[in-house]
């Protein structure tokens, strides 16, 4: 990304043809990549045709993954995460998701090991 200094920004992109990209790989790496690619394509092909035959490519949701009581907490909590309900295969928020999100965010923060320093206000 480049900046002209007056609020305008520009970008540059480099495109590399796949034949040049794959030419940099050795034979074993390319063979392993190709095997993974073919397995992924077969799985996607099966999934797509199964969905096409059973009319299940797009599934319309009939309700939100949160209850009416949880709605404001879900919208206002950036750490709220939905989970898969194993019984219904749907997405839901657990009843105590706010406490779980707080515990996750506190566990992710590194513990302060040095002396506590105060910052001076900028005037």
Phi, psi torsion values for 9, nearest 5 degrees: -130, 150
Count of CA atoms in the C-beta half-sphere (13 A) of 84: 2
Give the integer Cα–Cα distance in Å for 65 and 60. Answer: 13
What pLDDT, in 10s, does the model give residues 65-92? 888 988 988 898 888 888 888 888 788 8
pLDDT at 11: 82
What pLDDT, in 10s, does the model give residues 25-49? 999 999 999 999 999 999 999 999 9
In this prediction the pTM is 0.44
Structural domain boundaries in the chain: 23-60, 63-108
pLDDT at 123: 54
């Amino acid at each position: 990304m480049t900046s002209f200094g007056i609020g305008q920004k520009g970008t540059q992109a480099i495109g590399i043809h796949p034949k040049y990209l794959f030419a940099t790989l050795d034979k074993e790496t390319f063979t392993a990549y190709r095997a993974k690619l073919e397995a992924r394509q077969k799985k996607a092909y099966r999934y797509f045709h199964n969905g096409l035959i059973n009319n299940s490519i797009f599934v319309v949701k009939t309700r939100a993954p949160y209850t009416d009581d949880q709605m404001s907490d879900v919208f206002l909590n950036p750490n709220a995460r939905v989970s898969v309900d194993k019984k219904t295969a749907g997405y839901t928020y657990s009843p105590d998701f706010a406490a779980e999100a707080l515990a996750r965010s506190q566990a992710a923060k590194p513990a302060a090991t040095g002396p506590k320093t105060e910052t001076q206000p900028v005037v």
